[in-house]
């Protein structure tokens, strides 16, 4: 197996020259007498001098943006929220941060949908960005940040590998996230009233009103079910999300009503492999029930691990979107390639999963309306056993 990193688009599209943004970035680097980005790493605790210098840098900006990627503890999450409050900046929290499903004064949950608006992208472009934690799910957010080209873009992570697919980070800091947040909170001045934060909040409320008006109803759609599921997650459950569209639907459409902070996901090139096994291990490790939102191909890739789901001492409720294939590719340039697209990318299979549930001794239900889905899910969370809820989606 050879895993090669290629730039998008991966479809066989032709171009006579380098894309303009890429050519401009290369040209700027060639002319400059310094690297594109610098890194601060080594000591587990960042120095007071580094913190003081960064505090001066961020406190002068009126258009600062705080990003929360994957976070791994309640200590980190509380520290990020405290820093958001200390800075007075909008907080854009990825679904894997554990902050996306909870209400917060400066939390902007619908940033992905806001980034679809060209006019809002111009009005909300940041000057300074502080990214804490792991990679981001939203492609639109990444494109928004790339187009904004902030003069200061700091990424903080306890790991050495930078998260910078578009080469726009100006400084990587390898350190403990909670300690970093605590130290920066001590240095920054008290936040002032911010028109920038207000504009983000107003736009976010508008999107929330539209979602509330349009995501209710009986029709089975993945965005509506993802939003409804986020509103009905029990406090006792953690959430595990499969790659491809399930994690994206939640990142885009989830409500902030749940308050669930334990959110796990497999990300990367092999993200759909091992979904059921990882969800079961997540439940065992946390010692609490887990709701797993998955797609049909992710389940098929790991269907033998339903044996683990069935025997788990902590219930795993599998909520399955079955749209008969990998329809994430419908949103990518490769969808324009007619020859072989349906067979090799969408990979329709025609399977339903009732017999698989029976084979592994799982409770099973296949609801036909949105209200039935939520009713079935609530019933499943009341049982002391794992179950499979299959939701057929017309792709």
Please write the tens of the pLDDT for every residue from 185-220: 999 998 888 899 999 999 999 999 999 988 876 778
**CA 387/CA 147 separation, integer angstroms:** 44
159 versus 287: the higher-pLDDT residue is 287
Q: Give the distance from CA 112 to its chain's centroid.
A: 10
Mean pLDDT of the chain: 88
**CA 377/CA 354 separation, integer angstroms:** 16
- pLDDT score of 288: 96
- pLDDT score of 342: 67
261 versus 171: the higher-pLDDT residue is 171
How far CA 260 is from CA of 9, 314, 353, in Å, comes to 35, 17, 28
Q: Is the peptide bond before 9 cis (omega within 30 degrees of 0)?
A: yes
- pLDDT score of 19: 65
Question: What letter would DSSP give residue 345?
Answer: I
Q: Give burial (CB, 10 Å; 0-12/13-18/19+) of 23.
A: exposed
Express each pLDDT in 39-85 by its tens digit. Answer: 665 555 678 898 999 999 988 889 999 999 999 899 999 999 999 99
Q: Is the pLDDT of residue 1 over 60?
A: no
- pLDDT score of 229: 94
Q: What are the strands of the beta sheet with 64-68, ordered from one edge?
A: 38-40, 171-174, 152-157, 128-132, 64-68, 91-93
Q: How many CA atoms lie within 13 A of 5 on its CB side?
A: 2
**Which domains occur in the chain, in start order?**
34-203 (3.40.50.1220), 218-392 (3.40.50.970)
Angle at 197 between CA 191 and CA 199, to 5 degrees: 150
Express each pLDDT in 119-150 by its tens digit. Answer: 999 999 999 999 999 999 999 999 999 999 99
């Amino acid at each position: 197996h050879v895993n090669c990193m290629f730039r998008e688009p991966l479809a066989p599209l032709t171009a006579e020259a380098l894309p303009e943004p890429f050519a401009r970035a290369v040209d700027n680097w060639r002319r400059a007498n310094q690297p594109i980005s610098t890194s601060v790493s080594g000591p587990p605790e960042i120095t007071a001098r580094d913190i003081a210098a960064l505090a001066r840098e961020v406190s002068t900006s009126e258009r600062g943006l705080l990003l929360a990627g994957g976070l791994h503890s309640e200590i980190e999450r509380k520290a990020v929220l405290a820093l958001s409050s200390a800075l007075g900046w909008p907080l854009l929290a990825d679904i894997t941060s554990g902050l996306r499903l909870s209400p917060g004064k400066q939390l902007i949950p619908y940033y992905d949908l806001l980034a679809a608006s060209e006019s809002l992208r111009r009005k909300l472009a940041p000057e300074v960005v502080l990214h804490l934690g792991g990679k981001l799910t939203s492609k639109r957010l990444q494109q928004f940040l790339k187009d904004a080209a902030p003069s200061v873009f700091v990424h903080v992570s306890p790991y050495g590998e930078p998260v910078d697919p578009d080469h726009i980070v100006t400084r990587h800091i390898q350190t403990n996230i909670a300690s970093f947040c605590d130290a920066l909170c001590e240095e920054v001045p008290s936040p002032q009233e911010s028109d920038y934060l207000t504009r983000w909040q107003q736009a976010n409320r508008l999107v929330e009103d539209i979602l509330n008006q349009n995501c209710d109803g009986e029709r089975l759609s993945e965005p509506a079910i993802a939003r409804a599921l986020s509103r009905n997650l029990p406090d006792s459950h953690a959430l595990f999300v499969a790659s491809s569209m399930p994690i994206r639907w939640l990142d885009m459409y989830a409500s902030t009503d749940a308050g669930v902070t334990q959110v796990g996901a497999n990300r990367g090139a092999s993200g759909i492999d091992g979904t059921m096994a990882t969800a079961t291990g997540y439940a065992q490790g946390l010692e609490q029930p887990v709701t797993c939102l998955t797609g049909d191909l992710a389940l098929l890739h790991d269907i033998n691990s339903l044996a683990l789901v069935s025997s788990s001492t902590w219930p795993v409720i599998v909520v399955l979107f079955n749209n008969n294939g990998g329809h994430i590719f419908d949103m990518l340039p490769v969808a324009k390639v007619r020859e072989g697209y349906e067979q090799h990318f969408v990979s329709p299979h025609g399977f339903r999963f009732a017999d698989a549930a029976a084979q592994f001794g799982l409770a099973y239900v296949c609801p036909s309306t949105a209200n039935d889905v939520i009713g079935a899910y609530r019933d499943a969370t009341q049982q002391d056993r794992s179950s499979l809820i299959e939701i057929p989606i017309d792709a």
